[in-house]
Amino acid sequence: MSVLVVVECDNGEVKKSSLEVASYGSQVAQMLGTTATAVAVGEATEANLAKLGEQGISKVLYDAEPRLKDFVNGAYTKLIAAAAGKEDSKIIVLANSNIGASVGSRLSVRLQASLATNVVELPKANGSSFTVKRGAFSGKAFADVVLSGDRKIIAVKKNSIEALHEAGKTATVEAFSASLSDADFTDAPKQVVMQDQAGGILLPEADKVVSGGRGMKGPENWGLIEDLAKALGAATACSKPVSDVDWRPHHEHVGQTGITVSPNLYIACGISGAIQHLAGVNSSKVIVVINKDPEAPFFKAADYGIVGDVFEVLPKLTQAVKELG
């Protein structure tokens, strides 16, 4: 049996979160004394799939069926189940993405597997017991979860696992067909609409985030956030009050009822740090808080802070980043 890794691709490239998932899967395979096989979904190129060898993948299965380019829940689930059958995989690893969670939850029923989502660390396997650590209470806590049963599905939280890069190693890419029929595509999207991303960096995948709150005073001031984000190569985000009043789109809302992020660097500008917001960001590696109120609760959760006016501080930071070269 090999460990099966689900790799999401977009425009020919393997997503960053999937490089992490591949690295997770190959390390689990090593723990269990077996190999890791990937099954690729979305639009991929053979060259990029072969490069998954750098993340420890031995073999990649790829179905070039054109209708698999966009996410189709029914078809993806069938494809991955077929790949798991072919590889006799007892463990499937995927990203804790909207695609991963949609497919993983269906697969867990179809394959009678135990499912853990939002997983942040490699498993602890001890004899027959298999435990994973996952985020719970919207980032306010972690839970060690025991996955009972023979088959297991693990959805790995983005930015939790360092991707491996073993230069020069390549994976074999193998054509694979799950014999999909029209019936598997009944829930295919009628249309796919992509957002304009500032600098092309997606917030859920970003390893640096610059985020603004009510202290930014209005949507017309977001240029200051965007300038710093652009200089750093970061994604932009916001607090709930900001998306509630439509200064920014809701998909930028970070927090307990928005998205949870865990970048290497999170810069909060004019955000006081309500407990619901902290829940969405507290697994970030380094948190920087800029706020004119020295009593803002966010400072207690920060690594670095500047007590000052965002309108004066932000341009200085952007300038300093540009000077770094």
Partner 1 sequence: MKFLVCISNVPDTTTKITFTPDNKEFNKAGVQFVINPWDEYALTRAIELKEAQGSGTVTVLNVGEADTEPNIRKALAIGADDAIRVNAAPKDAYFVAQQIAAIAKEGAYDVILMGKESIDYNGFQVHGMVGEMLGIPTVAPAMKLDMSGSTATLEREIEGGKEIVEVNTPFVASCQQPMCEPRIPNMRGIMTARTKPLKVVEPVGEGARTEVAEYALPPKKQGVKLIPAESAGDLIKLLRNEAKVI
How far the first Cα of the chain sits from its last, in Å, is 49
Does the annotation flag 275 for ligand binding? yes
Cα angle for residues 274, 280, 284 (degrees, 5° grid): 110
Does the annotation flag 270 for ligand binding? yes
Q: Which of 134, 154, 145 is nearest to 25 (CA)?
A: 154
Does the annotation flag 83 for ligand binding? no
Q: CB nearer to partner 1: give 88 or 246.
A: 246
In this structure, what token pair is assigned to residue 270? 């004019």
**Cβ–Cβ contacts within 10 Å for residue 74, how many?**
16
Residue 257 beta carbon to partner 1: minimum distance, rounded to whole angstroms: 5
Does the annotation flag 233 for ligand binding? no
Q: CB nearer to partner 1: give 175 or 192.
A: 192
Q: CB nearer to partner 1: give 28 or 147.
A: 147
Residue 177 beta carbon to partner 1: minimum distance, rounded to whole angstroms: 22
Residue 1 beta carbon to partner 1: minimum distance, rounded to whole angstroms: 19
CA distance 18 to 29: 16
Does the annotation flag 75 for ligand binding? no
Q: CB nearer to partner 1: give 86 or 151.
A: 151
Say if CB 111 and CB 132 are below 8 A apart: no
CA distance 111 to 219: 48
Does the annotation flag 272 for ligand binding? yes
In this structure, what token pair is assigned to residue 178? 């799950």
Residues paired with 43 in a beta bridge = none
Residue 324 beta carbon to partner 1: minimum distance, rounded to whole angstroms: 6
In this structure, what token pair is assigned to residue 44? 């991929």
Residue 170 beta carbon to partner 1: minimum distance, rounded to whole angstroms: 27
Contact residues for 151 (Cβ-Cβ < 8 A; gap 6+): 90, 91, 92, 111, 112, 113, 114
Does the annotation flag 277 for ligand binding? yes
Cα angle for residues 35, 76, 3 (degrees, 5° grid): 10
SS3 106: helix
Q: CB nearer to partner 1: give 30 or 217.
A: 217
Q: CB nearer to partner 1: give 58 or 227.
A: 227
Say if CB 154 and CB 92 are below 8 A apart: yes
Q: CB nearer to partner 1: give 39 or 171.
A: 39
Residue 149 beta carbon to partner 1: minimum distance, rounded to whole angstroms: 6
Residue 18 beta carbon to partner 1: minimum distance, rounded to whole angstroms: 11
**Cβ–Cβ contacts within 10 Å for residue 196, how many?**
5
Binding-site residues sit at: 214, 270-277, 291
Binding-site residues for FAD sit at: 214, 270-277, 291
